[in-house]
Amino acid sequence: MSEPAASPLLVRAEGSVGRITLDRPEAINAVDHGMIRGIADALERWEHHPDIRLVLLDGAGDRGFCAGGDVRTLREQILAGDAEAAMGFFRDEYALNARIAAYPKQIVVFADGVTMGGGIGLAGHASVRIVTERSRLAMPETRIGFTPDVGGSWLLAHAPGRIGEYLALTGRTMDAADAIYAGFADHLVPADRLDDVRHALVTRADPDTPTEIAMLFDETPEPSRLASARRWIDDAFAAETVADVIARLRARPETDAHTTADELETQAPTALTVTLAAVRSARGVPGLRAALAQEYALVEWFGRTQPDLVEGIRAQLVDKDRSPRWQPATLAEVPAGTAAQALSFTPTVPLWS
């Protein structure tokens, strides 16, 4: 039941397992619009297919599962004034994120290596989320003047304590232990055993129990660094504003707290302000679809009204000078009510029709 792919995807059946491989290793499998549509089409075909019992999603190459979405194209579309094309991508991507979470057959994801941004949207909402000793997970959107999306705000909102605010504002990377602790992953399996897991999923007589199969290869991770840092993270990131968070970090005795304060002072002030409010708002929404709808409105707000998104992508990914010129440049200059304005923005086309 092999099927040709119209985008960098390998889509095929292996026994009763439908396997989708992101096949763009030169870009760490960053997803474009065609890949999003291809994954959605495969899930549509397999949802009621009697021979497909579960789905496996993985990435080609050794560098990572998925480095994120194609934000360079997003920048070009914004600069060209083609907001509709940009929002069309996000509509399809978010619909896929929600589809993965609600899919009636179990979806197993190998989040091996780099798994960030849009990669979290594919991996973070799956039924069985496997990480390895090589895994590096993050939602680094504030570093490009943006805010966590693809359902990332929902995952962050439900992390222990104030870990969600910490990860959202800093964009810091999680290893396997941190990802499991924060609720972004379920099992740690050594990278050299992933083929064994896949083989077991394909050949086992009872393929409806992928969790049990993963547990056959599961290893206990080292203690999470996030867990050990909870005291100062929870204290500082419970503060009402980003400025207050930084002040509390400065008052802490821990060296990493001061390093974190230094990092936050280099991030986009508007993105930090909106992201702090967005994660807290996501704690109160009724489910993932509502969180995605909130994120979708924020995406258009950033794209239509904020120069920082285009500038952040330029500095980090296009020119790579790592010297973004944020507007405004400081937290003190962010207008009062900015977060409320962003969260109340009405998108031109609704996400869910």
Contact 116, 139 (CB under 8 A): yes
Structure tokens at 203: 């050949």
Question: Catalytic annotation on 84?
Answer: no
Question: Catalytic annotation on 149?
Answer: yes
Catalytic one of 58, 93, 112, 141: 141
Question: Catalytic annotation on 141?
Answer: yes
Q: Report the C-alpha gap between 96 and 235 in whole angstroms.
A: 36
Catalytic one of 70, 112, 149, 175: 149
Catalytic one of 18, 38, 68, 118: 118
Sheet holding 54-59, edge to edge: 9-14, 17-22, 54-59, 107-111, 128-131, 187-188
**Any residues with CB less than 8 A from the CB of 338 and at least 6 apart, and which?**
270, 273, 274
Alpha helices in the chain (DSSP H): 33-46, 71-79, 83-102, 118-123, 152-157, 163-170, 176-182, 194-203, 210-217, 225-228, 230-236, 242-251, 255-264, 269-282, 288-305, 308-313, 338-343
Q: How far apart are the first and last CA of the chain?
A: 33
Contact 326, 144 (CB under 8 A): no
Nearest to 117 by CA among 176, 52, 65: 65
Catalytic one of 18, 38, 68, 69: 69
Concatenating the DSSP letter of every residue in 262-302 gives HHHTTS-HHHHHHHHHHHHHHTTSSSHHHHHHHHHHHHHHH
Nearest to 190 by CA among 120, 114, 251, 134: 134
Give the chain's length. Answer: 353
Q: Report the C-alpha gap between 90 and 126 in whole angstroms.
A: 19
- Residues taking part in catalysis: 69, 118, 141, 149
